[in-house]
């Protein structure tokens, strides 16, 4: 890597990319990027052109002379890559619309990483990450895979445990949001606190200590229901039960609201659905507005409007991780990585989201003490659900898909959940070849969705 770094980003048309470029530009002294390749698929051709042009203008406004390449052929981009970042969405936002609308029509929560929507995003994504790894094994066998594609924990586990790419680290901006915001609640600076995270992606807890080693967790916990209490902006802040949280003694991830306050979250989701459609439809409109802004030829930096898209501190997580590996920093970060002995109640070879030291050797997870029974039980159930999802995504086993639905706390068991599963399979037929036989059977039985928006997407081949 002494001739400069080659970065390949799969999902190169993502509207998040201006922030990623900003992150690399800001760190150029420690990350001497030589070239960047942005890769997308035919469906994202126009977005790739718009985002790629802006990315080049961002670099042209610097003294660094970095070239941004765009391509629809990842095999053209991968040879000699040092780092491959993944941030793609199979089926684009239209697929997310189906993930969220179909469960909503059956009175269930539609959300892109939790519940039925998250399971189907994994079904579409995991086979593709396997194909990417096949190409990396041939074209850039020494590259690191830095995964930001949701559901990040399950995709990362598939990459490491099932497809054998050990040089994989999964990232999420949620822990970073906590670290970048919570210190303000204590009236101190970020560097005055240290953090320890344990759990799974979008299902973790953390504790916080000051420079003297004093535990500040319970003090911060009292702010958990405040607007700036560390919950990501895309998650509705249904009040969490303080007696429950005080008993657990740790700060929960913002996504715990979907599990600990399920009815309030569902009610809010259904109200939004009735008034203005799913969040995916809202993001579709925001993305169109962002692309119009990106097309402005005088724009050469990340626009402020990108904050509306969510994903705050994305570049800090991705670029810091790459820098920690490249510079052998032994830097503490929260990542998804092989468990080892970090979380004692989970298998050693599964993937967990924990605090780890990041160096040239990858992620070294930091071990935790035993967890309270309730937290141990939650993690074991959620990991079992994830394992069913991953195996079903790889094999196309319908029974395993049913098991995953049965285990997921956000999906009601019974005939209604089976209908949601079947409708989602048919709606996503284009991206689920592993389930082809079952989908053909369901279509022969007349399974389809009643939702006109979804049916219109299907008619248009989206």
Is the Cβ–Cβ distance between 83 and 143 less than 8 Å? yes
Q: Which residue has tokens 């898909």?
A: 401
Confidence (pLDDT) at 58: 97
Q: Do residues 415 and 402 lie in contact, with contact meaning Cβ atoms separated by under 8 Å?
A: no
pTM score above 0.75:
yes
HSE-up of residue 64 (Cα within 13 Å, Cβ side) = 26
Neighbours of 122 (CB within 10 A): 26
Q: Which residues pair with 147 in a beta bridge?
A: 86, 170
CA distance 60 to 68: 10
> Which residue out of 255, 294, 314, 326 is catalytically annotated?
255
What pLDDT is attached to residue 1?
41
Yes or no: say if 411 and 418 are a contact pair by the CB < 8 Å rule. Answer: no
- How many angstroms separate the first and last alpha carbons of the chain? 40
Instruction: Evaluate whether 297 touches 14 at the Cβ level (below 8 Å).
Output: no
Report whether 135 contacts 146 (CB < 8 A): no
**What are 49's two structure tokens?**
């052109």
Q: How far apart are CA 100 and CA 159, in angstroms?
A: 26
Domains and CATH numbers, the chain: 5-92+104-172 (3.40.50.720), 380-459 (no CATH)
Buried b (16+ CB within 10 A) or exposed e, 204-219: bbbbbeeeeeeebbee
Contact indicator for 384, 404 with CB cutoff of 8 Å: no
User: Closest Cα partner for 170 from 208, 222, 122?
Assistant: 122
In a 13 Å sphere around the CA of 327, the CA atoms on its Cβ side amount to 14
20-43 per-residue burial string, b: 16 or more CB within 10 A, e: under 16:
bbbbbbebeeebebbbbbbbbbeb
Pairing of strands 251-252, 203-210: antiparallel
Output the pLDDT for position 369.
85
pLDDT lower than 70: segments of the chain? 1-2, 308-312
Q: What is the rounded distance in angstroms from the CA atom of residue 181 to the CA atom of residue 189?
A: 10
Phi and psi angles of residue 12, each rounded to the nearest 5 degrees, phi first: -70, -20
What pLDDT does residue 382 have? 97
Active site residue 255: yes
3-state secondary structure the chain: CCCCEEEEEECCCCCCHHHHHHHHHHCCCCCCEEEEEEECCHHHHHHHHHHHHHHHHHHHCCCCCCEEEEECCHHHHCCCCCEEEECCCCCHHHHHHHHHHHHHHCCCCCCCCCHHHHHHHHHHHHHHHHHHHHHHHHHCCCCEEEECCCCHHHHHHHHHHHCCCCCEEECCCHHHHHHHHHHHHCCCCHHHEEEEEEEECCEEEEEEEECCCCECHHHHHCCCCCCCCCCCCCCCCCCCCHHHHHHHCCEECHHHHHHHCHHHHHHHHHHHHHHHCCHHHHHHHHHHHHHHHHCCCCCCCCCHHHHHHCCCCHHHHHHHHHHHHHCCCCEEEEEEEECCCCCCCCCCCCEEEEEEEEECCEEEECCCCCCCHHHHHHHHHHHHHHHHHHHHHHHCCHHHHHHHHHHCCCCCCCHHHHHHHHHHHHHCHHHCHHHHHHHHHHHHCCCCCCCHHHHHHHHCCC
């Amino acid at each position: 890597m002494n001739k400069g770094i080659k970065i390949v980003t799969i999902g190169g048309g993502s509207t998040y990319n201006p922030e990623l470029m900003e992150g690399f530009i800001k760190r150029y002294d420690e990350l001497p990027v030589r070239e960047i390749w942005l890769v997308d698929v035919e469906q994202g051709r126009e977005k790739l052109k718009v985002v790629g042009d802006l990315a080049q203008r961002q670099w042209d406004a610097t003294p660094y002379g970095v070239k941004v390449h765009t391509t629809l052929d990842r095999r053209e981009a991968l040879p000699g890559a040092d780092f491959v970042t993944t941030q793609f969405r199979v089926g684009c936002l239209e697929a997310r619309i189906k993930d969220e609308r179909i469960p909503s029509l059956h009175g269930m929560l539609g959300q892109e990483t939790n519940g039925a929507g998250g399971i189907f995003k994994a079904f579409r994504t995991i086979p593709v990450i396997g194909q990417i790894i096949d190409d990396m094994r041939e074209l850039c066998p020494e590259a690191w895979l830095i995964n930001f594609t949701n559901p990040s924990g399950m995709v990362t586990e598939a990459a490491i445990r099932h497809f054998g790419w050990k040089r994989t680290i999964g990232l999420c901006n949620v822990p970073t949001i906590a670290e970048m915001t919570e210190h303000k609640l204590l009236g101190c600076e970020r560097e005055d606190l240290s953090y320890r995270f344990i759990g799974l992606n979008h299902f973790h807890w953390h504790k916080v200590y000051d420079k003297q080693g004093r535990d500040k967790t319970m003090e911060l916990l009292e702010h958990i229901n405040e607007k700036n209490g560390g919950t990501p902006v895309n998650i509705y802040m249904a009040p969490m039960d303080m007696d429950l949280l005080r008993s657990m003694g740790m700060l929960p991830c913002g996504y715990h609201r979907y599990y600990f306050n399920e009815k309030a979250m569902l009610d809010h989701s259904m109200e939004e659905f009735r008034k203005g459609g799913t969040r995916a439809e809202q993001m579709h409109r925001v993305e169109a507005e962002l692309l119009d802004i990106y097309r402005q030829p005088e724009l050469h930096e990340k626009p402020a409007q990108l904050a509306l898209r969510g994903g705050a501190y994305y570049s800090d997580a991705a670029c810091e991780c790459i820098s920690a590996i490249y510079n052998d920093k032994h830097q503490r970060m929260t990542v998804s990585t092989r468990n080892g002995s970090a979380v004692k109640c989970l298998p050693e070879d599964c993937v967990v989201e924990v605090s780890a030291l990041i160096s040239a050797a990858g992620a070294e997870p930091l071990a935790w003490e035993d967890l309270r029974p309730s937290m141990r039980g939650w993690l074991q159930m959620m990991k079992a659900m994830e394992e069913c999802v991953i195996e079903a995504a790889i094999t196309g086993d319908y029974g395993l898909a049913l098991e995953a639905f049965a285990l997921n706390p956000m999906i009601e068991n019974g005939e209604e959940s089976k209908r949601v599963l079947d409708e989602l399979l048919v709606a996503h037929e284009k991206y689920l070849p592993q389930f082809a036989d079952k989908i053909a059977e369901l279509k022969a039985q007349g399974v389809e969705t009643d939702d006109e928006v979804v049916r219109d997407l299907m008619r248009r081949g989206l």
